[in-house]
Amino acid sequence: MNVQDILDRKGSTAVRTIAPDRTIAEAVAQLVEHNIGSLVVLEGERPVGIVTERDILRCCADDMGKAASTRVADVMTRDLIIGEAEDTVDYVMGIMTRNRIRHLPIMGPGQGMLGMVSIGDVVQSQLRETRYENRHLKEYISGSY
């Protein structure tokens, strides 16, 4: 199974984005409105980072008033880690675990951003695959295969 299978199953591949010059308050409003945990930061059409709930909490932990004046560019994670549609789910899970990230933008060759997968999407996909294999093994062992 690969990441494209996850994107296909999710249905919506819309990736929510924000410009680096927007405020943290605007980012929070989008996160809440769309019930999501991250926004890809775009400069024009080019992804330059990601801003997550965790980034926002770090920024505002000592002063909640900062959200109105702090720019996304000041708190975003600049080293954007991406996945590709052909990547296996196991590979993506390893990347996300090793880098301690919960959201992974998925890019396609010459297609730009195809979607976003969360660690929840990846775990759900693995669980579905494990259940499928378990069922078939039980059928094989019981002779009803």
Q: Report the share of the chain in percent with pLDDT over 70.
A: 97
How many Cα atoms occupy the beta-carbon half-sphere of 64 within 13 Å? Answer: 1
d(C-alpha 108, C-alpha 128), whole Å:
25
Tell me the residue range of the domain where 98 lies: 3-142
Strands 112-118, 103-108: pairing kind? antiparallel
What's the pLDDT score for residue 34? 94
What's the pLDDT score for residue 145? 59
What's the pLDDT score for residue 133? 76
Record the pTM: 0.82
Q: What is the CATH number of the domain that holds 69?
A: 3.10.580.10
Query: 110 exposed, middle or buried (CB, 10 Å; 0-12, 13-18, 19+)?
Result: exposed
What's the pLDDT score for residue 67? 86
The structural domain count of the chain equals 1
What average pLDDT values come out for the chain (145 residues) when binned by 10 residues?
90 87 96 95 92 93 88 95 93 95 90 90 86 76 73
